[in-house]
Structure 1
Amino acid sequence: MILLADGGSTKCDWILLDHNGKQVLKTRTKGLNPAVFKSEVLKTRLYANEDLKSYKDQVKSVHFYGAGCGTPEPTKILEDILVDYFGDSEVMVKEDMVAAVFAATTEPGIVCILGTGSNSCYFDGDNIHMEVESLGYVLMDEASGNYFGKRLLRDYYYKRMPKAIAEEFEKRYDLSPDAIKENVYRNENPNTYLANFAEFIFTSEERNGYFYLLITEGIKKFIENRVMCFPEAQNVPIHFIGSIAHFSQDIIRDALLPYHLTMGNIVRRPIDGIIDYYRNEILA
């Protein structure tokens, strides 16, 4: 059986397929980003899942696609953990952009991830091309969950947030300076902590132009920095993967127009596209 994984900083989805492509197991662990979490955290999160433990001896190969797996060192760390856990299974670890492409298209296009973090690539129909290497949530990640989380916190403290929204924000989260600084500067995975605030944008009872402008500004920055950097951008569809993209698709469509860009597919959960790809291309 083949075990597929779509891993981010917040969560990791796992699907076990038999040799006929039938789904045997679907489960989830906490995020397994090896560029963010220490080895012991990765191990603890993996070993805590009872579903995986029940099937691990039946797994013949593990194909893991994840955030933080785009450079050799963190990729090797996670690979070693998976090899140790799944024993004799064949283990392959690749970056999440590969899974995003599988989920979005089989034709040439720009594929963008808007989740806890953000990234983009050009897919020529055969190979993936990265124009800009991602430097993570501190320096980049425009229009991602942690980008919007940081923006909400800044707007709240600079008193740029409309009063009614600020009051709702206060009720939803612990916004004390000590709590924020503890989570951002001392605790593990500050990117996930920041990204949790982004949920407020899409679940808030109070709706006005503030959220629209907030999202539009982030999407515009992403387009200028992570889409227009590709010479092919105006000749191919622009696909988006992830929850932020799913909930913002109308704004994304509008934001693409001034740049003469064509909206492609919007996929909320890459794991669904990965399953289809494996059933059609690998297990057929």
Structure 2
Amino acid sequence: MILIADGGSTKVDWIALDKNKKEVFRTRTLGLNPAVVSKEELKNRIINMFQLINIKDEVSKIYFYGAGCGTPEPVKILHKVMQDVFVNAKIEIAEDLLAAVYAASQKKPAIVCILGTGSNSCYFDGTTTQMISPSLGYIIMDEASGNYFGKLLIRDFYYKRMPKNIAKTFNEEYNLDSDNIKFNLYKQPNPNMYLASFAKFMLAYKDEKYIRKLIKKGFKDFFKYRILPYKKDAKTPIYFIGSIAYFFSDILDDVATKNNLKITDIIQRPIDNLLDYHRKHIN
């Protein structure tokens, strides 16, 4: 049995294949970002999914692509956790950006970007990926991500910069008590995921001037720091992966056009494309 997993901070999509590369099942767990989730919680999130546990001894290979897997130490942590569960498996762990490259460009040169709970980008030359810099996560970077917009919404609400009609609904839909917010940010696991949960609110108000301005600011920052430094022209394909890019594609297209660039495709969930790639390339 082979497992292919595409993991963000919020969720991980898993596909199990048999020896003939036929799909056996799909499932989803909570995010397995080893940079922000403890060892114990990582293991719990895996063993609590009965479909994975039912086949744990049959799994011979795991291809895991995940948020937080861009530096050696978190990868080591997650590898140990997974090896303890899938004792007979050979485990390969790579950053979620590599999954995005495989899902989007299919090994052709392109700029590939992620806009989900977190954000990132790379230039893929057909062989290797090049990055502007390593991602330092939700506190310092993650421009235009779900957690980035969550922070802006909460801050604008508290500074009373949010239009009154939007603020009223925002307050009704979320627990905005300051103690509750601080508890979730500083005492609970996955504060990035918590912040990103607020970003869903933007969808209901995406045509409001305030929300569009907020989103455009985030996308401008993303292009400034994560795309323009590659110094590529409009001939270079640009792909985006993730729900933020997908649901606000019109604003994203507008920002790209203003930078004399063109977006080739936006993929909300890359797991199907990733499956196609592995069927072609795994033995």
TM bucket, shorter chain: over 0.9
Q: Which residue does the alignment assign to 1:194?
A: 195
Higher mean alpha-carbon deviation, 2-11 vs 111-120, is at 2-11
Q: Give the secondary structure class of the aligned counterpart of 2:35.
A: coil
* Residue identity matched to 2:196: A
Query: Is it true that 1:32 corresponds to 2:37 in the alignment?
Result: no
Q: Which residue does the alignment assign to 1:100?
A: 100
* Residue identity matched to 1:150: K
Question: C-alpha displacement at 1:234, in angstroms?
Answer: 4.3
Q: Which residue does the alignment assign to 1:17?
A: 17
Distance 1:233 1:53 in 2: 47
Provide closer, same or farther for how the CA distance between residues 81 and 233 of structure 1 changes in structure 2, counting only shifts above 3 A: farther
Distance 2:204 2:31 in 1: 22
Q: Deviations over 1:206-265 (max 9, x none)?
A: 841111111111000000000011123544121100111110111111101121112111
Q: Which residue does the alignment assign to 2:264?
A: 264
**Residues 44-193 of structure 1 mapped to structure 2, 5 A cutoff:** 44-106=44-106, 107-193=108-194
Q: Deviations over 1:132-185 (max 9, x none)?
A: 111100000000000000000011111111111111101100001111111112
Distance 1:189 1:64 in 2: 19
Q: Give the secondary structure class of the aligned counterpart of 2:230.
A: coil
Higher mean alpha-carbon deviation, 4-13 vs 274-283, is at 274-283
Distance 1:173 1:51 in 2: 33
**Residues 235-250 of structure 1 mapped to structure 2, 5 A cutoff:** 235-250=235-250
Distance 1:209 1:21 in 2: 48
* Residue identity matched to 2:137: G
Provide closer, same or farther for how the CA distance between residues 233 and 190 of structure 1 changes in structure 2, counting only shifts above 3 A: farther
TM-score under structure 1 length normalisation: 0.96
Once superposed, what is the RMSD of the aligned Cα atoms?
1.3
Relative to its length, the structure with more helix (as a share) is 1
Distance 2:56 2:39 in 1: 20
Query: Is it true that 1:251 corresponds to 2:251 in the alignment?
Result: yes
* Residue identity matched to 1:156: F
Q: Give the secondary structure class of the aligned counterpart of 1:102.
A: helix
Distance 2:250 2:103 in 1: 20
Distance 2:18 2:214 in 1: 44
CA contact (8 A) 1:220 1:255 kept: yes
Distance 1:54 1:255 in 2: 47
Distance 1:27 1:115 in 2: 19
CA contact (8 A) 1:227 1:233 kept: no
Q: Give the secondary structure class of the aligned counterpart of 1:182.
A: helix
CA contact (8 A) 1:110 1:233 kept: no
Q: Give the secondary structure class of the aligned counterpart of 2:139.
A: helix
Distance 1:175 1:224 in 2: 32
Question: C-alpha displacement at 1:19, in angstroms?
Answer: 2.6
User: Deviating runs (4+, > 4 A) in structure 1?
Assistant: none
Number of residues paired by the alignment?
A: 282
TM-score under structure 2 length normalisation: 0.96
Structure 2: gaps (5+ residues): none
Distance 1:23 1:212 in 2: 40
Distance 2:56 2:74 in 1: 23
CA contact (8 A) 2:110 2:239 kept: yes
Structure 1: gaps (5+ residues): none
Q: Deviations over 1:57-109 (max 9, x none)?
A: 22110110000101000001000111111111111111100000011112211
Q: Give the secondary structure class of the aligned counterpart of 2:229.
A: coil
